[in-house]
Amino acid sequence: MPKIRNLLASACALAAVATPLAAQDTPIVFEGATIMTMAGETIENGALVIEDGKIVAVGTSVDIPSGAERRDVSGMVIMPGIVDTHSHIGGVSGADSSSPIQPEVRAMDSINPRDARIAKARAGGVTTANVMPGSGYLMSGQTFYMKLRDGETIEDIAYLWDDGTVMGGMKMANGTNPIRSTSGFPGTRAKSAALVRTRFVAAQAYCEGNKEKRDLANEALCEVLGGKRIVHFHTHRADDVMTAMRLRDEFGFRMVIQHGLEAYKVADRIAAANTPVSAILVDSPGGKLEAMGASLAAGGILERAGVLTALHSDDGIIDSRLMFRQAGLAVRAGMTREGALRALTVNGARMLGLDDRVGSLEPGKDADFLVLDGDPLSVYTDIRETWVEGEKLFDLSDPEQAIYATGGYGAGEDTMPGEVLDHGGDVLGGGQ
Amino acid sequence: MSARKFTIAAAIVASALSSTALAQDLVVRGERVYTMAGAAIENGVVVIEDGKIVAVGPEASTEVPEGYEQLSARVVTPGLVDAHTVVGLTGYSNQPDEQDFLETSSPIQPELRAIDAYNPDERLVDWVRGFGVTTLHTGHGTGALISGQTMVVKTVGLTVDDAMVERRAMVAGNLGPGALGNGGKAPGTRPKQIAMLREALLKAQAAPEKKDEKPKRDLQAEVMRDVLAKKLPLMITANRAQDIMGALRLKQEFDLDLVIDGAAEAYLLLDELRDAGVSVILHPTMTRQFGDYANASFTTAAALREAGIPFALQSGYEAYVPKTRVVLWEAGFAVGHGLAFEDALRTVTIDAARIIGVGDRVGSLEPGKDGDIAMFDGDPFEYTTHVTGVVIDGVVVSREAN
């Protein structure tokens, strides 16, 4: 048995090397499921057809391609894979403590594609994640848009721009986290804003110039100022949210409010400014001064104000396997069921600029989807399968994989993300 | 003022200050009532008089007094019991001046009392009460070899005395990396931890009792002697298998009333735990699987149940955001990972109450017990269900839908 498994494994490895993007070439039809496409009404007793890692059809009556493998998934629910708009899986790190603004630093240079946390996130239904450096800096570096393929290198699990380079955003932060007594770091909120403004003014001069002399930091900032690289702005208190939007308006970058625990207090201003919020709902308020106003009602309030709202894990703050639970809590406190499920999928894809590829089940999009055995928001429901680009990368019925859904000996050691270490992770890890 | 008048006035003041003065007579109906003392009752009713339960049964056959306030809910359970937390000793703002669950000046300090640190006005007390939690086993936390005492309180009251159920519940200890000394201070290793604990217990055993002299007070030794006399259980937080075994060896050597807390790797030691006859207060089921909890599993609660080991669930300790967990949701998560519904409910009601030593007062809906009730508009463990009301000692303390 082990021999056969090894043979299979090496065959798979060869196949992956030979045709990395077309591993699934036999069309597969999933029939009989309740399909929540996130692009319109839920389809009862529908069919999903995938081929070459893409969705080719979804609906109640679809053409079955010749030679297609047919799978009866009656009683199951199929929905898009989760787009986690803020995660720290893979042992990610970014800036070091030498300065508060380090746009040249790339998350992709730190991530371990073999980190157990990635397999666990997949078991939790996550198929795309914005993996970010921490918030202890005004600008801690370039984020990494991860597609949770079964990859061996960072390139294997990357989204790419049209020019073939690795895709991501830019992590910024305000409020208390970047304020430190270290030399060069801000001591107040006003200083934080002034340092950021000064840096962007300098970048504007570089970007408008001939750019003959290469400068990694300025090049990244030109991508921010040009709108290619979205700013993911860690901010909590309502006034800090407004400061982030003020900076955005001054320099014209694209921005997602990250966390925004008090964003609900200025929901109408955020909606008016058409700014997306990548939110997190935590089990209780507090844990730090800026989190004292946290509310489970935030999701519903933002939704009703018309804000494009996603829910994220901030893994390890919330384990990636608890994403549906968070959506359930959002509904408990006033978000619509549809809105909460969109907040896990298509809304996140939109705010990351990936909605042409993922976030909903529509022809032409990546075949990233989940097979669940019931209501996604129920505690009694399990994720049976996670598919990424037409490949089944998590299967609960396989005990060797099921362990990633639960943890325990054999689930592998996770790499502690720097973000967690920065804010009490040593404590989280060691008991107290 | 005559003596008689004065007595009456004093009685009025005293009763106004004590929680029982507010206790009401109350009737709570539930489409389903989980008493945790027998099968669930369809269309059941709980009658509370003077803060105590006087009757529980089917509505059709239970005499309901007239004139009492009447509440109703889809599902009625006993008020929830959090078997281990530091709520009330760790403030939600997480600023140093309100973190009183751990004193690091010395590794062994059993004389530290929870009653001297508990803040009943802390917002997290209010928060967990809103989700049905009526009883807390709280006090000194993990992070020291012996961090101090714990107590049991209700989630009400202006003062700790108002809230009090049990002033001394357990002595809290911790083995493993979480309780190592910093900066070269002892204990620096696991064997040193065990050696220091054995020394402390031996010292308490050997304390002299001279007949003629009034014994010299020693607060530490007094507590440790109560541990040795099984007047106080020793609750040892141990997560790795070797730390759990270390705790079991201590129990055997000193014949202790031992409770294993945390127990992340308990699923490796089910026979050993059962044979030792210990109870387990399991870590939050959703605990982060890092560090000491790297091998924690979402299915440990189900494994303990299957092995027949008495256990309860806890909200535990949170160092950062969120500042506390809610034990209702930890139990719900266990249900999602193989624990049967009523078994999960037991872990946050009657089993929790028994393990923390207050099973005669709370944890089930039976005549004579405290009138502590949680009400729900659906399956209590579904994330989307709301807690619709909370009653403590017959007083409705929350009417909001949470």
pLDDT at position A417, please? 59
Copy the structure tokens of residue B344.
């999960």
Q: Using omega within 30 degrees of 0 as the cis cutoff, is the peptide bond preceding B322 cis?
A: yes
Copy the structure tokens of residue B56.
């529980």
Which one of B102, B126, B290 makes the best mutation probe of the A interface by having the most chain A beta carbons within 10 Å? Answer: B290
Radius of gyration of chain B (CA): 22
| Cα atoms in the 13 Å half-sphere on the side-chain side of B371 | 26
Residues 201-220 of chain A whose Cβ lies under 8 A from any Cβ of chain B: none
pLDDT at position B182, please? 86
| Residue B189 banded pLDDT, cuts 50, 70, 90 | very high
pLDDT of residue A7 exceeding 50, the answer is no
Task: Give dist(CA A243, CA A24) in Å, integer.
Answer: 47
**What helix, strand, coil percent values describe chain B, rounded to 5?**
30, 25, 45
pLDDT at position A10, please? 44
pLDDT digits 0-9 by tens, B297-320 = 999 999 999 999 999 999 999 999
Instruction: Mark yes or no for CB contact B176/A431 under 8 Å.
Output: yes
pLDDT of residue A348 exceeding 90, the answer is yes
Q: Which of B294, B229, B288 is nearest to A314 (CA)?
A: B288
CB A49 within 8 A of CB A56: yes
User: What residues does B85 pair with on adjacent strands?
Assistant: B138, B316
pLDDT at position B210, please? 63
CB B69 within 8 A of CB B82: no
A197 touches chain B (CB under 8 A): no
pLDDT at position B12, please? 47
Of B292, B333, B383, the CB nearest to A430: B292
Q: Which of A159, A165, A162, A105 is nearest to A133 (CA)?
A: A105
A293 touches chain B (CB under 8 A): no
Residues of chain B with pLDDT > 90, as a percent, come to 89
What are the DSSP calls for A111-125, one per residue? --TT-HHHHHHHHTT
| Residue A24 banded pLDDT, cuts 50, 70, 90 | confident
Phi, psi for residue B120 in degrees, rounded to 5: -70, -15
Copy the structure tokens of residue A248.
């955005």
Helices within A280-322 (DSSP H only): 298-305
CB neighbours of A292 closer than 8 A, spacing ≥ 6? A285, A286, B92, B93
pLDDT digits 0-9 by tens, B258-278 = 999 999 999 999 999 999 999
Q: Residue A70 region, left (φ>0) first, then alpha (ψ -120 to 50), else beta?
A: beta
At residue B115, the 3 state secondary structure works out as helix
Instruction: Mark yes or no for CB contact A329/B383 under 8 Å.
Output: yes
pLDDT at position A414, please? 66
Instruction: Mark yes or no for CB contact A414/B292 under 8 Å.
Output: no
pLDDT digits 0-9 by tens, A40-91 = 999 999 999 999 999 999 999 999 999 999 999 999 999 999 999 999 999 9
Which one of B85, B98, B384 makes the best mutation probe of the A interface by having the most chain A beta carbons within 10 Å? Answer: B384
Q: Is the dihedral of CA B143, B144, B145, B149 positive or negative?
A: negative
Inter-chain Cβ pairs, chain A and chain B, closer than 8 A = 162
pLDDT at position B332, please? 98
A399 touches chain B (CB under 8 A): no
| Residue A432 banded pLDDT, cuts 50, 70, 90 | very low
Instruction: Mark yes or no for CB contact A331/B176 under 8 Å.
Output: no
At residue B68, the 3 state secondary structure works out as coil
At residue A191, the 3 state secondary structure works out as helix
ipTM of the complex: 0.92
**Neighboring chain A residues of B124 at a CB cutoff of 8 Å:** 284, 286
Residue, of A418 and B128, whose pLDDT is higher = B128
| Residue B16 banded pLDDT, cuts 50, 70, 90 | very low
**Neighboring chain B residues of A425 at a CB cutoff of 8 Å:** 290, 320
User: What residues does A211 pair with on adjacent strands?
Assistant: none
Q: Which of B38, B39, B59, B37 is nearest to B47 (CA)?
A: B59
Instruction: Mark yes or no for CB contact B318/A287 under 8 Å.
Output: yes
Neighbours of B115 (CB within 10 A): 16
pLDDT at position B299, please? 98
Length of chain A: 432
Provide the pairing of β-strand B234-238 with B258-262.
parallel
Q: Average pLDDT of A154-178?
A: 97
Q: pTM score, two decimals?
A: 0.93
pLDDT of residue A6 exceeding 80, the answer is no
State the angle between helix axes of A337-344 and A323-332 in degrees (0 to 180), rounded to the nearest 10.
Answer: 150
Of A284, A332, A430, the CB nearest to B127: A284
pLDDT digits 0-9 by tens, B46-72 = 999 999 999 999 999 999 999 999 999
| Residue B183 banded pLDDT, cuts 50, 70, 90 | confident
A396 touches chain B (CB under 8 A): no
Which one of B314, B320, B326 makes the best mutation probe of the A interface by having the most chain A beta carbons within 10 Å? Answer: B320
Provide the pairing of β-strand B146-154 with B133-139.
antiparallel
In B, minimum Cα distance to A335 occurs at: B384
**Neighboring chain A residues of B93 at a CB cutoff of 8 Å:** 286, 288-289, 292
pLDDT at position A361, please? 98
Domains of chain A: 82-359 (3.20.20.140)
CB neighbours of B381 closer than 8 A, spacing ≥ 6? A379, B328, B331, B332, B335, B336, B341, B344
| Furthest C-alpha separation in chain A | 67
User: What residues does A54 pair with on adjacent strands?
Assistant: A51, A366
pLDDT of residue A332 exceeding 90, the answer is yes
CB neighbours of B161 closer than 8 A, spacing ≥ 6? none
Domains of chain B: 21-78+367-398 (2.30.40.10), 80-355 (3.20.20.140)
| Residue B340 banded pLDDT, cuts 50, 70, 90 | very high
CA distance A360 to chain B (A): 24
| Residue A421 banded pLDDT, cuts 50, 70, 90 | low
CA distance A381 to chain B (A): 7
Q: Average pLDDT of B173-192?
A: 95
Copy the structure tokens of residue A21.
């993007």
pLDDT digits 0-9 by tens, B347-386 = 999 999 999 999 999 999 999 999 999 999 999 999 999 9
CA distance B201 to chain A (A): 24
**Neighboring chain A residues of B289 at a CB cutoff of 8 Å:** 120, 319, 407, 411, 414
Instruction: Mark yes or no for CB contact A424/B320 under 8 Å.
Output: yes
Instruction: Mark yes or no for CB contact A329/B289 under 8 Å.
Output: no
pLDDT at position B3, please? 47
* Summary mean pLDDT of chain B: 93
Instruction: Mark yes or no for CB contact A286/B386 under 8 Å.
Output: no
pLDDT at position B206, please? 82
Instruction: Mark yes or no for CB contact A431/B322 under 8 Å.
Output: no
Which one of A120, A284, A406 makes the best mutation probe of the B interface by having the most chain B beta carbons within 10 Å? Answer: A284
pLDDT at position A69, please? 97
Q: Which of B40, B42, B28, B41 is nearest to B72 (CA)?
A: B28
Copy the structure tokens of residue A342.
């969109």
CA distance B153 to chain A (A): 20
Instruction: Mark yes or no for CB contact A319/B383 under 8 Å.
Output: no
Instruction: Mark yes or no for CB contact A286/B142 under 8 Å.
Output: no
pLDDT of residue B99 exceeding 90, the answer is yes
A372 touches chain B (CB under 8 A): no
**Neighboring chain A residues of B95 at a CB cutoff of 8 Å:** 289
